[in-house]
Amino acid sequence: MFHYDTIIIGAGPIGLACALEAKNRGLRYLVLEKGCLVNSLYHYPVNMTFFSTSERLEIGGVPFVSNNAKPNRNEALEYYRRVAVAAQLDIHLFEKVLHIAQPENGFRVETAKGHAYQTRSAVIATGFYDLPYLLNVPGETLDKVTHYYNDPHFYAFQKVIVIGANNSAVDAALETWRKGAEVSMVIREGEIGKRVKYWVRPDIINRIEEGSVKAYFHSMVREIREKEVVIQTPDGERTLQNDRVIAATGYQPDLSFLQKIGIRLSPDAIRTPLYNPDTHETNIPGIYLAGVICGGMNTHSLFIENSRDHAVKIMQHVAGGQD
């Protein structure tokens, strides 16, 4: 006899949507989360505004009411917490899953706390915010360097270099500049990213054109030192005075975890996990994928709004095979 019909790994919005659907179907479920509730959203910048409108972030049919059409990080944290509390979801926080073993029947989910849970199925909804793309340059491990920008006040009156040209980089550049930082952007491409939020992109372009924010296009960081950063530009190597580096270089899913338990990935650079789009079951019967991790390295293809339906497909299939 299994203790659970399904164990959901990840308490982000899609993991919570899976838990709601499991509970509504009367399934015995448990959610395991390595950090706090909606851990990825918690680590977003404090002033972040979503691109999506609030109704497109709703899960489980619970209305999401925000002050503006596009909610901010704090409103999202409050919404998902209220959903979890109202539904009395069974969630174990700060319990990282290390492995999913496959005995003769079902699965054994092993965690860093030394616990092992027996389950008939498992859902992996771990997102992609855990592993930043590294620069792989000397000095990247210095305390002045971060891959997770949070609060602009910390950077006031300092010389800040922001690496990148997409939403996170642009938000960091604008917000720290408005708090009095001297901001330079180091951008591999020749322009600000096309996916930058439409109400923000003109702002950063104007700040660059007027000289408030210095942008080095077609450039990359070569070395980070205690008080300097060496960059390679089309005009040659330059050394910039610097106090802080925000490396907004993006993030990637932990595909090694999938490989460790035997889930196959496509041989191309996207490394898309193998799963049935109708049920979201992987090549391992009884193990499912939900949310952005379904896209492999293509982390821009799936969001909360277009992966909420994964929960219904998965739990419908899990319930169909219930003992």
* Residue 211 and residue 222 share a domain: yes
In this structure, what is the dihedral angle of CA atoms 307, 296, 320, 312, given to the nearest 10 degrees?
A: 0
Residues 6+ apart with CB under 8 A from 67: 75
* Residue 112 and residue 243 share a domain: no
Examine residue 260 and state whether it is found in any structural domain, yes or no.
Answer: yes
* Residue 143 and residue 116 share a domain: no
What is the dihedral sign for C-alpha 109, 115, 116, 121? Answer: negative
pLDDT for res 105: 85
Boundary-marking domain end, from 218, 247, 276:
247
d(Cα 79, Cα 65) in Å, to the nearest integer?
8
pLDDT for res 321: 65
Contact 195, 300 (CB under 8 A): yes
pLDDT along the chain (323 residues), means of 10: 88 97 97 96 89 91 90 95 96 97 90 96 90 93 95 97 96 97 97 93 97 98 98 97 96 92 94 96 97 88 87 96 57
* Residue 38 and residue 100 share a domain: yes
Examine residue 202 and state whether it is found in any structural domain, yes or no.
Answer: yes
Query: Which bin fits 297, alpha (ψ -120 to 50), beta or left (φ > 0)?
Result: alpha
pLDDT for res 323: 46
Examine residue 229 and state whether it is found in any structural domain, yes or no.
Answer: yes
* Residue 316 and residue 287 share a domain: yes
pLDDT for res 272: 94
pLDDT for res 305: 86
**Spatial CA neighbour of 244 closest among 173, 150, 163, 144:** 144
* Residue 113 and residue 66 share a domain: yes
* Residue 18 and residue 114 share a domain: yes
Domain with 240 in it: 134-247
* Structural domains counted in the chain: 2
The CATH number covering residue 167 comes to: 3.50.50.60
* pTM of the shown model: 0.88
Our CA angle for 81, 86, 89, nearest 5°, is: 75
What's the Rg (C-alpha) of the chain?
Answer: 21
Examine residue 107 and state whether it is found in any structural domain, yes or no.
Answer: yes
Boundary-marking domain end, from 247, 271, 300:
247
Examine residue 1 and state whether it is found in any structural domain, yes or no.
Answer: no
* Residue 237 and residue 151 share a domain: yes
pLDDT for res 322: 60
